[in-house]
Structure 1
Amino acid sequence: MDQVSQGTKPDAGTGGALNWLLIGLALAIGLALAWGTTTLPAPAPRSAPADVFSAERAMDDVRAIAVRPHPIGSAEIEQTRAYLMTRMQALGLDPQMRTQTAITTHPHFKDLALAGRVRNIVGELKGSDPKLPAVMVMAHYDTVPHSPGAGDDTSGVAVALETARALKASGGLQRSVVFLMTDGEEAGLLGASAFFHDDPLRGRIGLVINLEARGDNGRSQMFQTSPNSRGLIEVYRDVVASPSADSLTATLYKRMPNDTDLTIPLMKGYAGLNFAFAGNQMAYHTPVSTPESLSVGSLQHMGDQVLPTVRAFAQAGTLPKSLDEMVYADLLGLTFVSYPAWFGWLLALVAVVTAFGALGLGIARRRIAWKEAARGAGGLLALLLGIATALLVELRLASFLLKDVASPYALIAQFGWLLAAAGLIAGGAGVLLLRAAANGKRRAAALWLLGAGLLCGVLGSFSLVAMAVGLVAALLAFVSFGRPAGLAGFFAGAVALVALFTVALQIALPNGAHALVWPLLPLAGVSALLVLAPERAGRTAALAGIAVAAALLIGLMATQSYGFFVLMGPMLPMIVTPFVALAALGLAPLFWSLRGSAWTGAAVLAAGVLLCVFTGIHGRTPTSATPELVQAFYLTDIDKRASYWASTKLDPFGWTKSVLEQDGGAATRRPMEPLFKDPLLSARARQAAFVRPVLDLSMAGEGAARRINLRVANANGGRYLQIFMKPSADMTGLTLEGRPLPGKLSAGKWSQFPFYASGADPVTLTVTPGARGRLEVELVEVRDGWPAGAKVPARPANVVPVGRADTSMILARSRLAW
């Protein structure tokens, strides 16, 4: 064991300098490889060949559509429809507008059901054999209130239109391509539900390609597929010049409570692919999402994937059949790796056997001690929880500094700074913990982890979970870092634990286990080198090989970290913990016994904390790119003759408070169930000149045919209705506009049922009553704009509306007993 430690320890002169050089090169090369995966293609100009996708041409549609917000049911969406009808007509798609009543039910929705009157726009580029199942390209043209929606989803609409133009120019399509622009996606996938429920074209569709966006920049990724997608993936892989997809993402997405329009056809058994880009999520569902903020490179990257994919399927004599699943991912943006699921098991077996083989042979040949390997496994757990604790400090500290900023996007707006801070904090913590393991500094490691855990628990609001993470990390460090550890034994034990995690992931997520299998392969190789050839491990060639493995590992882990941080990192930076821990483990053989590495880790960690403090202070000042998001609205209870100005939170500029108290009332928190789950900040307001929405509740029929009829309608030009029902006993047999609804009204609970684009026409519901009971109904008509005579002050600079802001809500009540 002494031989192992000495054999891998550089001398104080050249060896130390060489190791520092190799560490620097590994970091630089790894981060450069990861950076390369975020680069976007140059937009093709308007003068590009007619059969080529041009983002500059597509931007013309973005600028024409994303002029202002156009949510379902608004006056502005009519202008978008008119533009799309004209544009699709010019492309020769013979567009048709479908007006339908849509109903969506889904386990991810808290509502009993979502419904509305939608107007989908359908066009068709006919192939030489229109009888063949068609390829569908789908995007939604509605936005959320207050967002022009240049990203979500005008970008998808523009890509679809430019794809149609390029396909028409190239010709040679065997099967038709149907273009569906859906209405009401933001309200609850209403347009897609309407089409795939009863549109006459639905039976002709053989494959659905959906286009989405979450933000205004970033590389486009094919992030979701239908089950048994090997045939689809093989076509996508073969025809796209630079595929961007990962079966881990697709596997995780299936298990997440997220939905797009593609959810509906997938639930009905259609084959499909989903494309989207995600970046600058400050622009997601906010006024920031303008044509000027949209990345033209992101548009080009999506088009470069969508156009060849659609063209290949449209030119094919047969569409791929449902086969087995595949493991796939673009490897550092350099190549696209794909293989059958069974080969993934083989790779995992090779990596796991190598890791455990090195450990077993090392113990058998007395190269390492099993206790040292056990400390390595425990040390890896301490490393994981220690990094998580450090990142919890970042989250709690940034949240504390931004706690009185009203914007729900306060952390998201600081994405770049938080990402840099997370990298420094996690990296510094990783180096410090591994050096503590090497030197046997268990008391120092346990004390600073204990302090970090206590800080997490009390910073801002109390959090027992945050405190517990730090306490467990401290305990593991104290147990595992008992005395100076030899590199080979510690490393072999840590890698063996990674192998165990790999086995578990391979069983649980076989199509996503490559996230651990690929890193385990170089780690297991390095472990075998340290254990079985210790006399060579400290030589220059071996160290260079370790550095190459570390660079690849850093590139892979940085790429994964960035992807996950884009989606969840500002709100949950701990999500990058396993990736940072694996990268640190890959570098461990190079800095294990280096002098000054502990000071380097401490300096990096301190720099990350300081950057976090700067981020929290910087985030308090809104800019045009990261504005303060506020919402204030008017609510009047017609039947109780009580009116309020209301909001979810005050802003630091006092604007929301001035709105709430404009009529002389004092802003306090009031319960307003069932409209809002949590109490709202509200102040009494003057009664506005609104009329009572139509709310007729009656009983009809006799005996078993008896029914409760509910008839509701807008009376003030509302954009949508919210219907709340609470029975005294369970009720079933619900219908909407004559269509049966699943589920029931539960006794003593409010069930919510929104109806969008409700217009002036009445909406009718029926339900079967029990022998005796009562039914309470509350109806809210939601209309855009303040009530007449409101004295709302102008918003300060860089303060913009979000959510229910600038709306008036008119409430009516009714009750029926029998």
Structure 2
Amino acid sequence: MLRKDVLVAVVLAVALIAAAVANMTPRPLGLDAPANVFSAGRAMVDNRVIAKVPHPTGSPANYAVRNYLVSRMTQLGLSPQIQRIDAFQERPGKEPLVIGGVVENVIGVLPGKDRSAPALALMAHYDSVPGSPGAADDAAGVAAGLEIMRILKAQGTPARDVVLLLTDGEEAGLVGATGFFQSHPLARRIGFVINMEARGGGGPANMFETAAANGAVVDMFRKVAPSPASSSLTVYLYKQLPNDTDFTVPRKAGIAGLNYAFIARQFDYHSPVSTPENLSQGSLQHLGDEVLATAREAAFAPALPGKAPDKVYSNTLGSYLLAYPPLAGWGVLAVALALTALGVWRARRVDAFVWADVAKGVGAALYLLLTSATLFMLARRVTGAGFGFYDQAKLLANVHLWELALLVVGIGALLYTAAAVGRGRMRLAAAGLALLAGFLCTALSDWNLIGLGIGGAGAVVALLAFGRPAGVAGTWTGVLCLAFLAALALQIMAPTAAFLIAWPLAFGALAGAVSGMGTWRPIAAPIIVAVLAAVGLQWVLSYAHGVFIGIDMVEVQALFVWLSALLLWPLIQAEPEETRPRTVALIVLAVGFAVVGLVRAIPPWSARHPQPAIVTYVVQGATGQAKRFSLAPNPPDWARTVLKADGGHIVQDVAPGGWRGSPGDILSAWAKPVNPLPPAVMLNRVIDGSLEVRIVPPAGARTLTLDIRPTGKLTDATINGRPVKLLTQPGQWNRIYWQGAAEGVAVGFRAKGPGVIDTRYTATTEAWPTDAKPLPKMPPKVSGNSISGSTIVTGEQRFTW
């Protein structure tokens, strides 16, 4: 029989290689590609123009992009039009928020045979955030849309109109999409939307969101997608997250569709290095290939897919997408249960099964979940990187080493758990490991007790489970039983997500049935188990990678360590007399944390991955008093030099109005007074007897923040004449965040009798004051992100009537 450690090494190597291959993007096609296929090379011609410089909503650079898009759509024969509109979204809360602005959507139409049929809309946004050229987010989607429209037009007249909707103001808060779907006549005719996005600079294009009742849409998607990357889990999880894209607007309006994005190379997201040179053309190729296939089907099909019950679906091997109704999930669980029972029956036939060991297996699985989560949390804190968008830049700049560190720590936790339950007599050692990890995690988290609580729970489980040695058959059964209960709970509460546990469970149960729950009969059983483990583990690792790049919550990786245990358990559990597995596990854990130490110690910054800096000049509008601010955590020496340029001392401060920052991250220093013009804020009485607070920005200011607090009850609030739910509670601050508004914004209301209203404002101009000391030259390993180099004028005013 082959040595189990050799099999484990081979299984891990094969699964890792297969998972890496599954996440590769296709070879980008060049300018000479056939005219009827998508070419990343052709799309890059547009991308280089669109993403030449940062172009946020309302900026001169964005107007230049708008003009270019009108020209390109005219060349394509789409008869483009510009929808200029002020639009806003309301976000209720403790302090009601309205996000809006003046946007200019660019809309073109490829006429179909039936002009009255529900139309297809291809959607992407052409604005970027300040400080980023936005080659990925979302010049990639815009360029892909232009190339796809060229191909669709060349194919002939579609069955229905195809609308190319290039929105403005997505980064400002989905403002352009809101304005289109609320006000444009074409919006009433849209029957299907395909949105293209990016949250990084590379990786496969994942179809990660659909509208409700997606069964027929998923059937269409499966039929035509050439190399899909998608699952119903991402659709389910995205609904739980507070994230939005332009697709949110039509989805909430009940319009069916598909939402695509690539999210690898997260360092580039909203960064100055999101340039055409750094954009993965393979990702652009994959996005174009996938969207072209679904767009072609939707454009030329006799009818668009209707509503049907949601389906469970996911990639399996390669690009094959398996889908089935949620009801079939019960069948998967039944098969897994039957296979587990068969494995138990075979083990009992050879007297290799002890029922008491099942409880130890359940305990081992719980210990693995709790302790690996604690170890991952500890690893995250050992890196020294904080939590937040800019805090994790250090990890994203060294992302491959960081992912390797977590992989090794996870393998170590898995091996240690399997050694502890098999060998027995490791209660105190296993409990000590969990407690030590929890204590260190808490100590490195300003004594937040979460880490210690989870580690302590793992220690309690260790004391209960790791006494006498346990046999493989019983413990593996216990591991599978816990997974069955978890999959059963998901099947009841979230059936479209249950496959994440049910499928590895089924693979593990099949391996258990083949091998007699690890009693290795027949003689080829170890090879069969290893093959099943490699196939299943590749799938688990692919999901683990997706979660790793998607959210900065490394403790979630404990779930995938546990799922790996379902597949690997009979190959890794130690025999009672073996000491080597425990030693190997501790060495692997030590190596994992050594790699974590390298992540902390190795300077990550380079010209490709520069350290973020955000420096601004903040001026009090009434007095001209000024401060220089650093708004990014852990600012580089360059930013500190900027702060001290006028001789001021650096102190911790409160973020200027409109900026979100954690306490301790915001630094400031006194600066010489300058004289930029503040916005004009005034109280006007309207001809119908109502009142309005109007704010008009100074020349050059692109964004405004206006906070309003009434002291009495007001009614009939409006923004630019349209009703809004603001000013309903006396003493409550209400915030309006407005972009691209040279004419400003007016907040109207009615009041019974005299009253008082307090206002606070900021106006941001993305330029350094001309009468201040100029910014020093920026080193190549530092980048000015977001509104760095801007001037912010703040002030407050009280009005009475």
Same fold (TM over 0.5): yes
Contact 1:143–1:149 (CA<8 Å) still a contact in 2? yes
Equivalent residue number for residue 4 of structure 1: none
Residue identity in the other structure for 1:151? A
Among candidates 471, 488, 493, match of residue 473 of structure 2: 488
Equivalent residue number for residue 5 of structure 1: none
2:171 aligned counterpart, secondary structure: helix
Equivalent residue number for residue 557 of structure 2: 576
Map residues 323-362 of structure 1 onto 2, 5 A cutoff. 323-355=308-340
Q: Give the distance between the partners of 2:719 and 2:508, measured in 1 at CA.
A: 59
Contact 2:205–2:283 (CA<8 Å) still a contact in 1? yes
Q: Give the distance between the partners of 1:107 and 1:219, measured in 2 at CA.
A: 35
2:656 aligned with 1:696, yes or no?
Answer: no
Map residues 393-412 of structure 1 onto 2, 5 A cutoff. 393-399=378-384, 408-412=392-396
491-500 or 680-689, larger mean C-alpha shift: 680-689
C-alpha displacement at 1:404, in angstroms? 13
Q: Give the distance between the partners of 1:558 and 1:331, measured in 2 at CA.
A: 12
Q: Give the distance between the partners of 1:725 and 1:108, measured in 2 at CA.
A: 15
Contact 1:736–1:764 (CA<8 Å) still a contact in 2? yes
Among candidates 733, 755, 758, match of residue 776 of structure 1: 758
Equivalent residue number for residue 475 of structure 1: 460
Map residues 496-645 of structure 1 onto 2, 5 A cutoff. 496-528=481-513, 537-568=520-551, 571-593=552-574, 595=578, 596-618=580-602, 620-645=603-628
Question: Structure 1 residues 524, 566: closer, same or farther in 2, change over 3 A?
Answer: same
Among candidates 695, 701, 705, match of residue 712 of structure 1: 695
Size of the alignment, in residue pairs? Answer: 793
Deviations 1:294-334 (CA, angstroms, capped at 9, x unpaired): 11111111111111111111111111111111111111324
Contact 2:678–2:763 (CA<8 Å) still a contact in 1? no
Q: Give the distance between the partners of 2:654 and 2:287, measured in 1 at CA.
A: 46
C-alpha displacement at 1:744, in angstroms? 4.2
Q: Give the distance between the partners of 2:129 and 2:59, measured in 1 at CA.
A: 10
Contact 2:131–2:787 (CA<8 Å) still a contact in 1? no
2:769 aligned with 1:787, yes or no?
Answer: yes
Equivalent residue number for residue 11 of structure 1: none
Q: Which runs of 5+ in 2 are unaligned?
A: none
Q: Give the distance between the partners of 1:258 and 1:88, measured in 2 at CA.
A: 30
Deviations 1:57-94 (CA, angstroms, capped at 9, x unpaired): 11111111111100001111111111111111111111
State the TM-score, normalized to the length of structure 2: 0.94
C-alpha displacement at 1:662, in angstroms? 1.9
Among candidates 794, 807, 815, match of residue 790 of structure 2: 807
C-alpha displacement at 1:762, in angstroms? 3.8
Q: Give the distance between the partners of 1:634 and 1:815, measured in 2 at CA.
A: 25
C-alpha displacement at 1:697, in angstroms? 1.8
Question: Structure 1 residues 460, 255: closer, same or farther in 2, change over 3 A?
Answer: closer
Equivalent residue number for residue 629 of structure 2: 646
Question: Structure 1 residues 70, 612: closer, same or farther in 2, change over 3 A?
Answer: same
Equivalent residue number for residue 427 of structure 1: 411
C-alpha displacement at 1:341, in angstroms? 1.9
Map residues 313-392 of structure 1 onto 2, 5 A cutoff. 313-355=298-340, 368-392=353-377
Q: Give the distance between the partners of 1:799 and 1:762, measured in 2 at CA.
A: 34
Question: Structure 1 residues 494, 729: closer, same or farther in 2, change over 3 A?
Answer: farther
Contact 1:442–1:478 (CA<8 Å) still a contact in 2? yes
Q: Give the distance between the partners of 1:25 and 1:267, measured in 2 at CA.
A: 48
2:735 aligned counterpart, secondary structure: strand
1:86 aligned counterpart, secondary structure: helix
2:666 aligned with 1:684, yes or no?
Answer: no
101-110 or 324-333, larger mean C-alpha shift: 101-110
Equivalent residue number for residue 299 of structure 1: 284
Question: Structure 1 residues 728, 352: closer, same or farther in 2, change over 3 A?
Answer: farther
Map residues 35-50 of structure 1 onto 2, 5 A cutoff. 35-50=20-35
Among candidates 695, 703, 709, match of residue 726 of structure 1: 709
1:697 aligned counterpart, secondary structure: strand
Question: Structure 1 residues 345, 120: closer, same or farther in 2, change over 3 A?
Answer: same
1:808 aligned counterpart, secondary structure: strand
Equivalent residue number for residue 763 of structure 1: 745
2:107 aligned counterpart, secondary structure: strand
Residue identity in the other structure for 1:516? I
1:113 aligned counterpart, secondary structure: strand
Among candidates 31, 36, 45, match of residue 60 of structure 1: 45
Contact 2:95–2:732 (CA<8 Å) still a contact in 1? no
C-alpha displacement at 1:561, in angstroms? 0.4
Question: Structure 1 residues 772, 364: closer, same or farther in 2, change over 3 A?
Answer: farther
Residue identity in the other structure for 1:236? F
Q: Give the distance between the partners of 1:645 and 1:169, measured in 2 at CA.
A: 55
Contact 1:117–1:758 (CA<8 Å) still a contact in 2? yes
Residue identity in the other structure for 1:750? W
Contact 2:55–2:133 (CA<8 Å) still a contact in 1? yes
C-alpha displacement at 1:773, in angstroms? 4.4
Q: Give the distance between the partners of 1:732 and 1:487, measured in 2 at CA.
A: 71
Residue identity in the other structure for 2:558? T
Deviations 1:396-419 (CA, angstroms, capped at 9, x unpaired): 10126x799975512222211111
Q: Give the distance between the partners of 1:299 and 1:492, measured in 2 at CA.
A: 45
C-alpha displacement at 1:468, in angstroms? 1.5
Question: Structure 1 residues 718, 506: closer, same or farther in 2, change over 3 A?
Answer: same
Q: Give the distance between the partners of 1:220 and 1:557, measured in 2 at CA.
A: 19
Among candidates 160, 165, 169, match of residue 180 of structure 1: 165
Contact 1:697–1:814 (CA<8 Å) still a contact in 2? no
Q: Give the distance between the partners of 2:756 and 2:508, measured in 1 at CA.
A: 67
Q: Give the distance between the partners of 1:724 and 1:435, measured in 2 at CA.
A: 60
500-509 or 584-593, larger mean C-alpha shift: 584-593
Q: Give the distance between the partners of 2:347 and 2:492, measured in 1 at CA.
A: 27
Question: Structure 1 residues 675, 317: closer, same or farther in 2, change over 3 A?
Answer: closer
2:88 aligned with 1:103, yes or no?
Answer: yes
Question: Structure 1 residues 650, 104: closer, same or farther in 2, change over 3 A?
Answer: closer
Residue identity in the other structure for 1:220? A
Deviations 1:137-191 (CA, angstroms, capped at 9, x unpaired): 0000000001010000000001100001111112141111100110000000010
Deviations 1:475-524 (CA, angstroms, capped at 9, x unpaired): 21121111111111111112111100001111121111111111110222
2:155 aligned with 1:170, yes or no?
Answer: yes
Contact 1:406–1:652 (CA<8 Å) still a contact in 2? no
Question: Structure 1 residues 311, 242: closer, same or farther in 2, change over 3 A?
Answer: same
Question: Structure 1 residues 669, 506: closer, same or farther in 2, change over 3 A?
Answer: same
Question: Structure 1 residues 492, 767: closer, same or farther in 2, change over 3 A?
Answer: same
Q: Give the distance between the partners of 2:768 and 2:94, measured in 1 at CA.
A: 29
Question: Structure 1 residues 190, 20: closer, same or farther in 2, change over 3 A?
Answer: same
Equivalent residue number for residue 202 of structure 1: 187
Map residues 223-234 of structure 1 onto 2, 5 A cutoff. 223-234=208-219
Equivalent residue number for residue 438 of structure 1: 422
Contact 2:612–2:785 (CA<8 Å) still a contact in 1? yes
Deviations 1:513-551 (CA, angstroms, capped at 9, x unpaired): 111111110222334456x677x6254311112112211
C-alpha displacement at 1:20, in angstroms? 2.8
Q: Give the distance between the partners of 2:750 and 2:452, measured in 1 at CA.
A: 51
C-alpha displacement at 1:439, in angstroms? 0.8
Q: Give the distance between the partners of 1:109 and 1:521, measured in 2 at CA.
A: 46
Equivalent residue number for residue 294 of structure 2: 309
